[in-house]
Structure 1
Amino acid sequence: MEDVPTQLRKGALELAVLALLAQQPRYAVEIVDDLAQRPGLEASAGTIYPLLTRLKNSGLVNTRWHESPVGPPRKYYTLSTSGVHHFEVQRDAWLRLSTALITLLKEVQS
């Protein structure tokens, strides 16, 4: 059985990737690096690439190739129109849920 932090992180990872893409277009390795800077959201390329493929197949992200100044071209991911809407709905639901849960957990701590 997976540990609890891993299960919670998996549930939040899609929203985290959508949030990064809502900020600006990014390529996969950049997403991995950005998540690595946020304790608890670290994810390997082996996790991010399939997630990006699923988001693309669902029509939530678009891709485009962009020449790189160092090395081969990179595939950049951006939110599609439906991806922006999906992100906003997910973000709002997460904020409501997390606020309520934080309030409850603080009550238990007291």
Structure 2
Amino acid sequence: MNIENAQVQMRKGILEFCIMHIISRGEVYASDMLDELTSAKIMVVEGTLYPLLTRLKNSGLLDYKWVESQSGPPRKYYVLTETGKKFLDEMQQTWNELSDSVNTIVQKTQHLENENKESSTN
């Protein structure tokens, strides 16, 4: 199994969740989303972000408005719709449950590994 493929799949699974969280804070421009995702080490490119934003918009979870820019063409700023806010709340609940479940399993594994290390050094 290729570790890079596994990492990409894990990141894809949470990208929508992270994007919706960023947008939930208020109107946001796509390049600002890219900057925040990159600084959080969630590598994403425009070719991934824009189709995802379009899909979320077409699903009724996002909307956007055009804002004139002093330094170029108008910019598209994204916001969550009321449906998007409810969807994000449900995603947050799922994330909390999933995170707790995964952490329980990982912590048990780490605990057992530590016990095994201690018993092998004695």
Q: Report TM bin, short chain.
A: over 0.9
Mapping of 1:1-110 within 5 angstroms? Answer: 3-39=5-41, 41-110=42-111
Percent sequence identity is 39
Alignment partner of 2:73: what SS? Answer: coil
Size of the alignment, in residue pairs? 109
Q: Over alpha carbons, which structure has the higher Rg? A: 2
Q: In structure 2, what residue type is equivalent to 1:107?
A: K
Give 4+ residue runs of structure 1 displaced > 4 Å after superposition: none
> Greater helix percent: which structure?
2
Q: TM-score, normalising length from structure 2?
A: 0.85
Q: How far did residue 10 of structure 1 move?
A: 0.3
5+ residue gaps, structure 2, are 112-122
Structure possessing the higher relative contact order (Cα contacts under 8 Å, 6 or more residues apart): 1
Tell me the residue number matched to 2:120: none
Q: In structure 1, what residue type is equivalent to 2:72?
A: G
Q: Deviations over 1:17-51 (max 9, x none)?
A: 00001112111111111100102x22101100000
Q: CA RMSD in A?
A: 1.2
5+ residue gaps, structure 1, are none
Alignment partner of 1:12: what SS? Answer: helix
Alignment partner of 1:63: what SS? Answer: strand
